[in-house]
Amino acid sequence: MGGKAAQQVGVPVAEGCTDPNAVNFDPTARSDDGSCNYTF
């Protein structure tokens, strides 16, 4: 496996914004999908 974490097949990974500094932070997300929004 080359040291990479194996992802279990059939188990959905919650995707969302994983950055707590973003306005749409999703604390339940386990994988960042690039949807984070920020206010400047």
Q: What share of the chain is helix, strand, coil (3-state, %, to 5)?
A: 0, 10, 90
Domain extent, residue 26, equals 13-40
Per-residue pLDDT, 19: 98
Query: What burial class does residue 17 get, using C-beta atoms within 10 Å of its C-beta: 0-12 exposed, 13-18 middle, 19+ buried?
Result: buried
8 within a domain of the structure (yes/no) = no
Query: Which among 21, 18, 23, 20 is positioned nearest to 34, based on CA atoms?
Result: 18
5 belongs to a structural domain: no
Residue 3 belongs to some domain of the structure? no
- Please count the structural domains in the chain: 1
In a domain, 23, yes or no: yes
Per-residue pLDDT of the chain (40 residues; tens, 9 = 90+): 455 565 566 778 899 999 999 999 999 999 999 999 999 8
pLDDT of residue 7: 56
What pLDDT shows up at residue 1?
47
Say if CB 29 and CB 17 are below 8 A apart.
yes
